[in-house]
Amino acid sequence: MKSLSIRARLILSMTVMAGLLVLSAALAILGLSRANANLEEMYTNQLASASALGESVAYLLRARTAFDRVVLDPDSGESQGSLERAISFGDKSNAAWRRYTALPADAEELRLTEAVHAQRAIYIQQAQQPLVTALQAGRNDEARSLVLHRMAPMYSALSEKIDALAQFQTSRAEVLYRQSAGGYREFLWWTGGGLLLGLVTVVVSARKLSGAIVRPLDTALAHMRAIGDGKLTGKIAAGRQDEMGRMMAGLDRMQASLVDTVAGVLAGSQAIGGAAREIAQGTACLSERTETQAGALEETASSMEELTATVRQNAASARKAADLARSAREMSGHGSAQVGKVAEVMQEVLVASRRIEDITGLIEGIAFQTNILALNAAVEAARAGEQGRGFAVVAAEVRTLAQRCANAAKDVGSQIASSVELAQSGAGLAHEAGASVHAIFDSIEEVSSIVAEISNASQEQAAGIEQVNEAIVQMDQVTQQNAALVEENVAASAALREQAETLERMVGRFELGAGPSARERVALLS
């Protein structure tokens, strides 16, 4: 008897009750058909529509979250992966939306669906697709502007349209429920009349039909109310092979799907909150490091300025030393020329001294000859006697004069010899002085070349330090910009954490069962 379907039981009951129960059975079948149609509509259309719509909205939200993550830190190593995930989530959202639009819908739902579809197309074409293009092209400022000024208001407008559609689905489910409840009450009235007319047989049939239909419906309604209140902990047992058993099995599958969905959303919100906290901590550390780096750059810039001044002073000193070296080289060249002239003069003095020495030799010879002639004259005067006495006196005077000339010539010769020796010594010293001055000239020439090289190197060093100083200034500017971006990241991380906490509180009102599917889902998404 338990293996028979409700339809078979009704046929058997009508056969037993004969003609009186024909109308009651027909009405019962009609009521059950309505209930079954409503349940089928709820399961095959409403639940599928809600699931597809919820999946589309969830993936769209995940895509937006991924885009926000890319925009917040476009230079990180995970930005490309986040962008690819965002594009994948967008494709999945589109696929879920196509599944939703393929389901049957009445005129009002179709109108709301078209409104959502139009707003969704505007959001994708004017916000999401330009954002993807800007991120792929590396235009991070444009992407940030799109997120703040275009995506946010368009997503809010889209959320309002989606909320209206979701509210309609909720009201539609309520209508189906009321239709089922009305059919149920109508069925009870007609069954009661049939029972009154059918006496004992109707009572027996009513009890059996009540056991087959009413209690499972009450149980199903109780489970539905619990699910509507957010309690997903109830255990739904089918235990039957008829339509009610299949309905209970479907209700159990629906509750399991809701458990998985809510667990997934809860785990996702927890993951987002954890990620937001980690981002906030990392951003705080980055802010401290950026401030430290900015201080170090300021000290480095100050040191580089001092070093630049020192190098400039060295370059000026090197140029001054080069000028002094050139002056010394010119003076040493002039001195070398003067020493050469002195050597030439000394050589001429030596030649003149030697000529004077020859002349004094000639004078000595003349004095010697004069002395001999005076001596001969004295001898001849002595022979002449008294007549030669005056001549003898003259001869003596001449001899004396010749002797004095010879002595004077000797003195002049001695002085000339000393002068010749001094002239020779002076010529040697002048030659040595010329060699020394020439060596000094060569040394000054080499020093001048080295000083010129030092001057050129100092100028090149000064130019290089100027470039380093400019690079440090640019690094300081970049560091200040990074500090500003870090502050923006801190604010964005705080906002993301608040949104994650809000989502977690909203989902937290659902009570999840301890089934393995829910645990596995939470563990997987955590």
Model confidence pLDDT, tens digit, residues 471-514: 777 877 877 787 787 778 778 878 887 887 887 777 776 776 65
CB contact at 8 A, 14 and 21: yes
Residue 357 pLDDT exceeds 50: yes
Residue-level pLDDT at 376: 82
**Measured between alpha carbons, how far is 522 from 264 in angstroms, rounded to an integer?**
6
Residue 525 pLDDT exceeds 60: no
Work out the pLDDT band at 113, boundaries 50, 70, 90. Answer: confident
When comparing pLDDT for 498 and 447, which is higher? 498
Q: Looking at residues 98-120, what average pLDDT do you find?
A: 85
Which range, 85-94, 206-215, 284-293, is most confident?
Answer: 85-94
Residue 427 pLDDT exceeds 70: no
Write out pLDDT tens, residues 171-184: 887 877 787 777 77
Residue-level pLDDT at 2: 58
Which range, 120-124, 134-138, 196-200, 440-444, is most confident?
Answer: 120-124
Instruction: Please give the CATH topology (third level) of the domain spanning 1-229.
Output: Four Helix Bundle (Hemerythrin (Met), subunit A) (1.20.120)
Domain segments of the chain as ranges: 1-229
Q: Looking at residues 456-467, what average pLDDT do you find?
A: 77
Residue 391 pLDDT exceeds 50: yes
Residue-level pLDDT at 148: 84
Tokens read off for 114: 């078209």
Burial of residue 137 (number of CB atoms within 10 Å: 0-12, 13-18, 19+): exposed
Q: Looking at residues 281-306, what average pLDDT do you find?
A: 80
**Measured between alpha carbons, how far is 463 from 455 in angstroms, rounded to an integer?**
12
* Residue 232 phi, psi (nearest 5): -105, 25
Residue 516 pLDDT exceeds 60: no
In the chain, what is the straight-line distance between the N-terminal and C-terminal CA atoms, in Å? 49
pTM of full prediction above 0.75: no
Q: Looking at residues 52-79, what average pLDDT do you find?
A: 81
Residue-level pLDDT at 249: 79
Residue-level pLDDT at 32: 65
Write out pLDDT tens, residues 308-349: 788 778 778 877 877 887 787 777 677 777 767 866 776 776
Residue-level pLDDT at 522: 46
Helices (H), 233-242: none
Residue-level pLDDT at 331: 78
Amino acid of residue 114: E
When comparing pLDDT for 421 and 144, which is higher? 144
Residue 24 pLDDT exceeds 60: yes
Write out pLDDT tens, residues 255-267: 788 778 877 777 7
Residue 303 pLDDT exceeds 60: yes
By mean pLDDT, which of 250-259, 285-294, 436-445 is the weakest?
A: 436-445
Q: Looking at residues 9-22, what average pLDDT do you find?
A: 69
SS3 522: helix
Question: Which letter does DSSP use for residue 242 in this model?
Answer: S
Q: Which residues contact 116 (CB under 8 A, 6 or more apart)?
A: 158, 161, 162, 164, 165
Residue-level pLDDT at 523: 52
Work out the pLDDT band at 18, boundaries 50, 70, 90. Answer: low
Q: What percent of the chain has pLDDT over 90?
A: 0
Residue-level pLDDT at 513: 62
- Beta-sheet strands, E only, within 148-235: 231-232
Q: What percent of the chain has pLDDT over 70?
A: 81
Residue-level pLDDT at 41: 62
Residue-level pLDDT at 423: 67
* Residue 208 phi, psi (nearest 5): -65, -45
Residue-level pLDDT at 518: 45
Phi-psi region of 231 (alpha: psi -120 to 50; beta: other; left: phi over 0): beta
Residue-level pLDDT at 212: 66
Q: Looking at residues 106-114, what average pLDDT do you find?
A: 85
